[in-house]
């Protein structure tokens, strides 16, 4: 099961929460700018609160699609209608549609609780979104954008090796 490389996990665990949240919001904002209709397919589930808890980080990310809000916390997970927990690499792979959510759920690599219909609606929403996180992260690199993007793609490939399969 892929996990965040230890050299990256420790700095994230000790980084100030405001900094982690700021970076996460910047990435979230770029994804929404590139995919303005991302949450359109959620229907009634746009109002749902989704919590993503990386099992290899001491963080929780809560997203409310209707308000396009993202918050980050440590400690006890925040109140949410649907909650998913698993290694950060798999959660990011799901965001990009590179991993089979059903297979990961049934193999117990991911734990899902709460409103399953809301989680399925989110999965269907992300299904064809074509989100490319390395490109988003690379966009912050200025003149070094191609290098940052390439490095991020390399890390993604290494971490998800053997896990990249379409959801359908």
What is the span of the domain harbouring residue 95? 6-159
* CA gap 36, 34 in Å, rounded: 6
Residue 124 lies in a domain: yes
Q: How far apart are the first and last CA of the chain?
A: 21
For residue 32, tell me if it sits in a domain: yes
- For the stretch 99-136, pLDDT in tens is 777 667 767 788 899 999 999 898 888 877 788 878 88
Name the domain count of the chain: 1
CATH number, residue 68: 3.30.1050.10
pLDDT in tens, 23-39: 899 989 988 988 888 88
Q: What pLDDT, on a 0 to 100 scale, did the predictor assign at position 8?
A: 57
- Encode pLDDT of 52-88 as tens digits: 999 888 899 999 999 999 999 999 999 999 999 998 8
pTM confidence score: 0.81
Burial tier of 158 (Cβ tally within 10 Å: 0-12, 13-18, 19+)? exposed
Q: Is residue 119 part of a domain?
A: yes
Place of tokens 């059903």: 102
pLDDT of res. 4: 54
pLDDT attached to residue 65: 95
């Amino acid at each position: 099961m892929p996990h965040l490389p230890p050299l990256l996990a420790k700095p994230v665990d000790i980084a100030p929460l405001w900094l982690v949240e700021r970076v996460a919001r910047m990435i979230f904002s770029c994804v929404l700018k590139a995919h303005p209709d991302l949450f359109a397919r959620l229907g009634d589930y746009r109002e749902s609160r989704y919590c993503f808890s990386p099992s290899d980080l001491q963080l929780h990310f809560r997203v409310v699609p209707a308000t396009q809000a993202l918050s980050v916390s440590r400690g006890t997970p925040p109140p949410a209608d649907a909650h998913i927990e698993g290694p950060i690499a798999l959660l990011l792979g799901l965001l990009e549609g590179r991993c089979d959510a059903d297979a990961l759920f049934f193999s117990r690599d991911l734990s899902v609780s709460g409103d399953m219909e809301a989680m399925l609606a989110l999965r269907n929403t992300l299904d064809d979104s074509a989100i490319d996180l390395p490109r988003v992260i690379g966009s912050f690199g200025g003149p070094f954008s191609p290098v940052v993007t390439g490095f991020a793609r390399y890390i993604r490939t290494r971490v998800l090796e053997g896990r990249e399969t379409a959801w359908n």
